[in-house]
A and B are shown apart, each in its own frame.
Chain A
Amino acid sequence: MRLRALAHARAGDKGDISNIAVFAYRMEDYPLLERVLTAELVKDYFAGIVRGEVRRYALPQLGGLNFVMERALGGGVTRSLALDAHGKCLGLLLLDLDLPVR
């Protein structure tokens, strides 16, 4: 199942760190997200784009997971050569992730 079916997301930037906040559309889907959408899964998904560690913060009352991804913005917004130096596109790109559920 694609993440996009269950959740919406927004990416933000600070230096070379990108964070993506993912929220379940329906609160009843949040426990599933919390179980399967791990930091490791997100790190593997962005392999080659995100070069550092990925940390996850859970906010159950908001139905949200915040992924903080280090070394994700080509050395930092101000000197990056990337077309999308801020990584604004990364949030929606994550929604293409196939969740490991039947």
Chain B
Amino acid sequence: MKTVRLGCGAGFSGDRIEPAVEVAERGDVGYLVFECLAERTIAIAQQEKLRDPNGGYDPLLAERMEAVLGICRTRGIRVVTNMGAANPLAAARCVGAVAKRLGLRGLRVAAVTGDDVLAALHRREEPLDQTGEPVSALGDRLVSANAYLGAWPIVEALAGGADVVITGRTADPALFLAPLVHEFGWARDDWPRLGAGTAVGHLLECAGQVTGGYFADPGYKDVPGLARLGFPIGEVGEDGSAVITKAPDTGGQVTEATCKEQLLYEIHDPARYYQPDVIADFSGITVAEIGRDRVRISGACGHPRTGRLKVSVGYVDSYIGEGQISYAGPGALARGRLALAIVAERLALAGLATGELRCELIGVDSILGPLAPIDGAGPEPREVRARVIGRADSLAEARRIGNEVDSLYLNGPAGGGGVTKSARAVIGILSALVPDAVAEPAVHTIAC
């Protein structure tokens, strides 16, 4: 029976570089997929593209391709990635330049465009999921609008012979589903298989999160070799069932527990995982360990797609300013609390950031919030880190927040040290659903 072997080379834009090399060199894979595009990244990339028409793609694209392209060429491995971000065409040219530097001739690089629906959305009245208002109500604060495309444009690129396929916004699992559709010839309405392929993609797309990353809990869930965590490989059959494993001779582990945790990661109703090509249904999935670092996944299915695409809308939201300072030794807690009170009073006096302001102590209540014990109820911490963060209408006002923390050095409680401060513009992300005809995917192939 035919088996397609898919490897994952990155699960986010800042992911480690060398695990992809291990998958390519030792994983015996046919495809190497890099998922590097978070929700907000594309909005920031869009702003970069406005500044530089040749920019706006993933900053690590060249480095990642330099690490793997030679091996992929030798072994006949095809690459699929969403590192095109806001500018897949420029990203494809970048890969072409890398191939030239490496002396790889005749490489075919395809760019998938058409996810950028900003122009179309200006004219439409679809409501935003979060506010109910039309997208157009964001006016000139609107920065980007990208539809989550499905697998078919990538399938088209692979059928056209592409060695490397670069997309912008594409549903993450579709990056993995596409090679399966291409290899097995699954039909556009083969809902059970499209659902099963989506499950495989979902398990692989976060790379190390299925091989022991985001999992270890010493004494409860121990994982060997996290410093050299191996990235995952899916061995997929024609029926869409799969064995999840990882690159040989690497750290980490693939167990029923790592697969189960990743299966529901960022999933809401497991029976209805909305994708552009299918509504995947994970509710009947079973997992079974069939060997060391080998887990069989079966029982996924799917239902007809909705015909609508999710659009991620980026907009200029606000500015955030932050400052932190540490206190240690006896009375650290009380001095930390005093520091927070001083900064809050100073900001109120200046009329700044009084609307949304968080004053908290890292190590005491910054994560726990209302779940933290009342001061004095437990053992007193021997060190605390005061954190003040607030929303502002301008970058200058946001800077005032960190500056007020900074001035505690000379004007605040005794023994304050280690100030850090920052201020930044915030691109917010909202979403809307549009008919899929609003997006017009296209494939552009360049030979290099």
Contact = CB atoms under 8 A, between A and B. Distances in A.
Interface of A: 4, 8-10, 12-17, 19, 21, 23, 25, 46-49, 55, 57, 59, 61-64, 66, 68, 76-79, 81-84, 88-89, 92-93
Q: Of B268, B358, B426, which is in contact with the most chain A CB atoms at under 10 Å from its CB?
A: B268
Contact of B268 (A19, A59, A88, A89): A19
A12 B428 CA distance: 19
A75 to B, nearest CB: 9
Given A76-B428, A78-B428, A79-B426, A23 B266 contact: no
Nearest to B360: A83
B265 A81 contact: no
A17 B370 contact: no
B370 A57 contact: no
Contact of A14 (B257, B266, B299, B427): B266
Contacts, number: 113
Nearest to B263: A62
A17 B269 CA distance: 12
> Which of A46, A78, A88 has the most chain B CB within a 10 Å cutoff?
A78
Nearest to A16: B130
Given A19-B267, A62-B263, 9 more contacts: A10-B261, A19-B268, A21-B263, A21-B265, A25-B257, A59-B285, A79-B428, A83-B366, A83-B387
A76 B431 CA distance: 12
Contacts of A84: 367
A57 B269 contact: yes
Given A66-B264, A78-B40, A57 B270 contact: yes
Contacts of A49: 369-371
Contacts of B265: 10, 12, 21
A16 B367 CA distance: 16
Contacts of A12: 264-267
Contacts of A77: 39-40, 429
Nearest to B368: A93
Contacts of B260: 21, 23, 62-64
Nearest to B256: A62
Nearest to A11: B265
A84 B299 CA distance: 35
Contacts of B269: 57, 68
